Amino acid sequence: MSSYGYFSYSSNEALHLSKEEVNLLSAVLSLIEREMKHSIDRHSRSIIISHLEVFLDYCLRFYERQFYSREVINNTVVEKFNALLDEYLTNDISERGLPTVAFFADRLNLSAGYFGELVKTSTGTTAKDMIADRLVNAARELLNDLTLSVTQVGDMLGFEYPQHFVRFFKRRTGRTPK
């Protein structure tokens, strides 16, 4: 079941089906129902399990497909994410600390897992990496202000300790903030 990750999502984001897909899944469910009504024999269990696997595999196919077929909706979510991220970095970061994927998913009324998959499929990069890249860009801008120390920049960007900021910056850029 762990390979069918959409079971952990909210009902509004898990699976969007066309009428044809609903009919196909209904047909597979009918086969399962028919087998369950059939008198039990040594093949019953394996047939039911096989039908369930087919059902779940179709669901997985349709689920993965929706990230591509709902591109306009997904792009809107990514645009909203970028706007929220800009707003957060401008107004909230010093009060709230480092931004998280879960925070933005919640603001967009999506589960973190679904939001992460949507962003990755739409942009080719993870939401976490997008946040980190924006933090690095903000850090670079602040570091250009020679009146600010590295500690002050880290603090302004929501890092609890200066060494965390230095480590983050070096890991992302290959260079120290200085």
pLDDT tens digit sequence for 33-47: 999 888 888 898 999
pLDDT tens digit sequence for 85-140: 999 998 888 788 889 999 999 999 888 888 888 898 888 899 999 999 999 999 99
Q: What is the pLDDT of residue 68?
A: 63
Q: What is the pLDDT of residue 62?
A: 82
Identify the CA nearest to 108 among candidates 93, 127, 130, 124. 127
Q: Rounded distance, CA 2 to CA 115, Å? A: 18
Neighbours of 77 (CB within 10 A): 20
Instruction: Say yes or no to pLDDT of 69 above 90.
Output: no
pLDDT tens digit sequence for 131-148: 999 999 999 999 999 999
Identify the CA nearest to 56 among candidates 6, 9, 17. 6
Q: Rounded distance, CA 62 to CA 40, Å? A: 32
Instruction: Say yes or no to pLDDT of 1 above 80.
Output: no
**Using N-to-C axis directions, what is the helix angle for 44-69 and 71-87, rounded to 10°?**
60
Structure tokens at 170: 């070096």
Q: Is the pTM above the cut of 0.85?
A: no
Residue 169 in contact with residue 139, Cβ under 8 Å?
yes
How sure is the predictor about 160, in pLDDT bands with cuts at 50, 70 and 90?
Answer: confident
Q: What is the pLDDT of residue 7?
A: 65
Mean pLDDT to the nearest integer, 50-73: 78
pLDDT tens digit sequence for 2-17: 666 666 665 555 667 7
pLDDT tens digit sequence for 25-34: 999 999 999 9
